[in-house]
């Protein structure tokens, strides 16, 4: 289990940007900016997983081998758990991952031990 804060705040339009747009266009622009912000977070999270998970697994298999003489070469990792620090972080991250179907596909979401868990 890995703990990481994902406190990326979604970037709404600035007050200056809001004043310049008619109401209909402003709401559309807000949604587009929010979607882009979420997709950026999803891409950053994906890149983080790609760089950190192989190193984590390498360190884990080395430790199991050296400390307990366990040979893990025939095992295959089929999932990774990622724990967020807060409910707000979880909400932001799941919204971001759901906005990037080219990278993530939600399989199931439900409460486990009092916390929401999503499987992608």
The Cα-based distances of 118 to 18, 25, 47, 58, 80 in angstroms read: 34, 34, 19, 25, 11
Mean pLDDT, residues 54-60 taken together = 95
Summarised one tens digit per residue, pLDDT across range 61-120 is: 999 999 999 999 999 998 999 999 999 999 999 999 999 999 999 999 999 999 999 999
Query: Is a pLDDT exceeding 80 seen at residue 7?
Result: no
């Amino acid at each position: 289990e890995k703990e990481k804060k994902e406190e990326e705040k979604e970037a709404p339009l600035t007050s200056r940007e809001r004043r310049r747009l008619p109401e209909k266009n402003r709401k559309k622009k807000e949604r587009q900016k929010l979607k882009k912000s979420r997709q950026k977070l999803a891409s950053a999270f994906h890149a983080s997983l790609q760089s950190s998970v192989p190193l984590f697994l390498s360190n884990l298999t080395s430790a199991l081998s050296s400390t307990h003489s366990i040979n893990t070469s025939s095992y295959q990792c089929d999932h990774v758990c990622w724990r967020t620090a807060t409910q707000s972080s979880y909400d932001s991250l799941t919204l971001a991952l759901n906005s990037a179907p080219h990278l993530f596909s939600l399989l199931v979401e439900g409460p486990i031990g009092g916390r929401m868990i999503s499987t992608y």
